[in-house]
Amino acid sequence: MKNGGDLSCVETAFEGIMRGDDVLESLIAGVNIVELDPEDTSVGYGGLPNADGVVQLDSCCMHGPKKQAGGVASLEGVRTPSLVAKAVMDYTDHHLLVGPGAQRFARNMGFDIEDDLNTERSRQQWLDWKRRIDPEHYLDPHKRTDAGHQAGMDMVREGLIREEDYYGTINCNGVNANGDVCGVTTTSGLAWKIPGRVGDSPILGAGLYVDGEIGAAGSTGRGEANLFGLCSYLIVEEMRRGQHPKDAGMEALRRIRKATIETRLLNDRGLPNFNVKFYVINRRGEHAGVSLYSPDDSYVYSVCTEHGARHERLDGLLEGSASG
C-alpha cells in the first residue's frame, strides 16, 4: 500500500536508511504511510474502532543504539501514534503513556487532535458489526463476548474484513550498514475491542523488542497470546543464544501453542483457533517471518534490500489453518 505515493512502507524505510537517516526515523516514516491511509483499516486513520465505535490506537518504538524506547496505548484523535510513541521516547523519562494522558501529551507536543478518526468505511463496518450482535439485548458476559467475536469472524469469512485488519497491526524492523537496529509497531488494535483494551503492540517485550547488539522482533495477530509469553523478548533472547531468526521465532510459536489450553481458544483439532505472526531480524541483516499457520501463498511479509521490495512466504509452525 502506497496511499497515493510512489513508495510503499518498506521502500520508504529502506530509502531513508540508505540516505543515512536514523534507522528508527526511517522506519516510522514508512509506517506513517499506512497509518495515514484511509483505505487501510488495520492502523491509524480509519482503523477499525472499539466496541463503542471509537478508534483507539497503540504503538511503541525502540532505538537499539540509543537503548531508548517509547509507547502509547488507547490513544484517541491522533492519526500517527508511532510519532507520538517516538515523542514519548525523545521528550519524557517514561516508556508508556495511555488514554487521555497520552492524548494530552500529544497535544502538548503539537500534534493535531481530531474528534473522530473513523472514515466512512470503518464506521460502516462497525455499524454492520453492531447490527450482528443485536445490542438491544443484554447477554451474560460470556455470551456477549462470544457473540462479538463470532460476528467479527463471520465478517472475515464473508470477505468483508481481512483477517489482518481484524487484528490490525504493522511491525517494521530495520538495520543499516553499521548494524544499527531499530523497530516500530503500530495498530488500531483488535476490532470491536472492549474500550480501553490494550494488546501486545505498545508493550515492550511483547509487540516489539529491540536489542541493538542482537536484533529485533515484532508481532501481529492475537495480542493476548503474545502478551502471556512476552514473545518478542523471548525471540531476541533466543537469538542472543545463537539461534537464527527463523528458529528463534519458531520457539516463540511453540511456547504459544503449549500455553493455549482453554477450550474456547482451540479448534476441532485441539490446536489454537487464532494466528500469531512474528517478524525477526538480527544485527547481520538475517531475517525471517513465522506464523502459527501459513496455509497458502497469501501469508507473506515484506522485505526491502538493495535489490528492491519483495514479499516472502511466512514459515508456518502448524499445518492447515486456525479454523480447523
Handedness of CA 209, 215, 220, 224 (dihedral sign): negative
Q: Could you confirm whether 185 is annotated as catalytic?
A: no
Q: For residues 7 and 20, what is the distance between their CA atoms, to the nearest angstrom?
A: 18
Which of 302, 285, 214, 307 has the alpha carbon at shortest distance from 8?
A: 302
The number of angstroms, rounded, from the C-alpha of 165 to the middle of its chain's C-alpha atoms is 10
Q: For residues 310 and 144, what is the distance between their CA atoms, to the nearest angstrom?
A: 42
Q: For residues 102 and 135, what is the distance between their CA atoms, to the nearest angstrom?
A: 30
The number of angstroms, rounded, from the C-alpha of 317 to the middle of its chain's C-alpha atoms is 20
Q: Please measure the distance between the N-terminal and C-terminal CA atoms of the chain and give it in whole angstroms.
A: 30
Q: For residues 229 and 101, what is the distance between their CA atoms, to the nearest angstrom?
A: 28
Set 169, 185, 187, 260: catalytic member: 169
Q: For residues 119 and 11, what is the distance between their CA atoms, to the nearest angstrom?
A: 26
Cβ(29)–Cβ(172) below 8 Å: no
Instruction: Please return the burial class of 160, using the count of CB atoms within 10 Å of its CB with bins 0-12, 13-18 and 19+.
Output: middle
Q: Helix, strand or coil for residue 117? A: coil
For the annotated catalytic residues, the residue numbers are 169
